[in-house]
Structure 1
């Protein structure tokens, strides 16, 4: 049994993948031999532009198909399952470009993610009215609690279209948590967010992990990665280049070279990456 820096003990991976490939014509965008996310941790997936991170993320979460390979959630085979079935099994994601329904209120957006709604079935709607009414009240209370947690309670009745970019990130996290995930995947949660809100988001992510939800996130900001991650996986050219703690990965010569050789990483970024790798 291992113990993560968060203090949560883990006995097995919550997510594991083997031999995952995704090809587009003659281009192999993803070719991952082995990938593991330990339960109870925050794991960052990093890499230069074009590394295959987003494609791999989309394949694992059911928004794209794999040409080969297999992956498991808590030891259960989930290869090729669509996103809605993965969500029912406890694996939920957010998007870099948030996907709130602009004409619905914040509360309605969050309520959409409530799991196991009894009133959706014909039997429940016709014969279980008291039961689904009670569930509806419980879900509304839960949605209001989540909006309050993310500082959005005063806007609960307003349409989501009025939110700023940073507020939409908070709303999407609230909606994701409404489904009670065991594994939460965040696609560049800090992208387009002002520095003050970044700290707020980081605190929320830490709290979510402290409550027992495992987090896997794609991120470019090395300061964020070093600050919050237990484990880091670096991809380049569709393959996993390095895995380990933030310090181990960021001082890996191949990782530094991948960033140095990309258009995304300038001299300042590369120096910062190498510098973080020298931290104990």
Structure 2
């Protein structure tokens, strides 16, 4: 599926001609992608297709070999950290497994971006804001003074989400948010993501391999293969394509079960 030219006013993220590599290994070549304002975009692909590398390129943690990335209409590639700081304050990132600081409590973890971007906030207000974010992500209030090691895997993910939401972002990056969760916990996290996106007006860039997540909450899905985004669309639109990986992924046994579970078979 060719990515057609679109009205850039509706796009939060625009990626053009992205090239990423490590030594002689090229991960992305001439990769294009648009993320629309207000959508939950699922990003899928086989192992080694560079899903997390793509996310890291967008948020500035990976320096591409070539190409352009803009977020909120602002160019990001080659930009100094000081220049990009105002743009970065408008997004939040939840890395795999939460990536919490092990020596800080949940409350202190959530306060980290607040202290960086709003250093003049007093301690009382910091505590109040962080406590609100903790509860907003479905954690009990008594989780706030606990350390990550004292939490279950699902609770650590919610704590990581609370930190990602600390600055009231417009854009949220989620890297494999349901990985390692049991089906009930994964479904609950999906519902939370959809509710937060709808309530807060978030745009969500969501890397996942969870077919249930794709069917349950994603508005569109971007497929990484052959070192680029080969297709973007709704699941029915992707199923109309004859690419072997897309057909195997969505029409394989697990894909059929997920579709049936969501009434799409």
- Please give the range of the TM-score, normalised by the shorter of the 2 chains: 0.7 to 0.9
- Structure 2 residue 209 is matched with structure 1 residue 220: yes
Match of 1:146 among 116, 133, 153: 133
| Alignment-derived partner of residue 158 in structure 2 | 170
Contact persistence 1:52–1:237 (CA under 8 A):
no
What is the deviation of 1:48?
1.3
- Summarize the Cα distance change of 1:54–1:88 in structure 2 as closer, same or farther, 3 Å threshold: closer
Structure 1 segment 165-244 matched on structure 2, within 5 A: 165-210=153-198, 211-244=200-233
Q: Distance in 1 between matches of 2:87 and 2:74?
A: 14
Which secondary structure does the structure 1 equivalent of 2:174 belong to? strand
Contact persistence 1:45–1:216 (CA under 8 A):
yes
Structure 1, unmatched stretches of 5+, are 1-9, 120-131
Q: Distance in 2 between matches of 1:251 and 1:171?
A: 38
| Alignment-derived partner of residue 64 in structure 1 | 62
Deviations 1:47-86 (A, max 9, x none): 1112221211121122211000011111111224459837
What is the deviation of 1:20?
0.6
What is the deviation of 1:118?
3.1
What is the deviation of 1:271?
4.9
| Alignment-derived partner of residue 33 in structure 1 | 31
TM-score by length of structure 2 reads: 0.85
Deviations 1:144-179 (A, max 9, x none): 112122223112112222111111100000000002
What is the deviation of 1:266?
10
| Alignment-derived partner of residue 93 in structure 2 | 93
Q: Distance in 2 between matches of 1:61 and 1:247?
A: 30
Deviations 1:183-217 (A, max 9, x none): 11100100011222112211221122111111010
Contact persistence 1:234–1:243 (CA under 8 A):
yes
Q: Distance in 1 between matches of 2:241 and 2:102?
A: 43
The count of corresponding residues between Structure 1 and Structure 2 is 253
| Alignment-derived partner of residue 42 in structure 2 | 44
Question: RMSD value over aligned CA atoms?
Answer: 2.8
TM-score by length of structure 1 reads: 0.81
What is the deviation of 1:27?
2.3
Q: Distance in 2 between matches of 1:139 and 1:236?
A: 43
Q: Which has the larger radius of gyration?
A: 1
| Alignment-derived partner of residue 6 in structure 1 | none
- Summarize the Cα distance change of 1:155–1:260 in structure 2 as closer, same or farther, 3 Å threshold: same
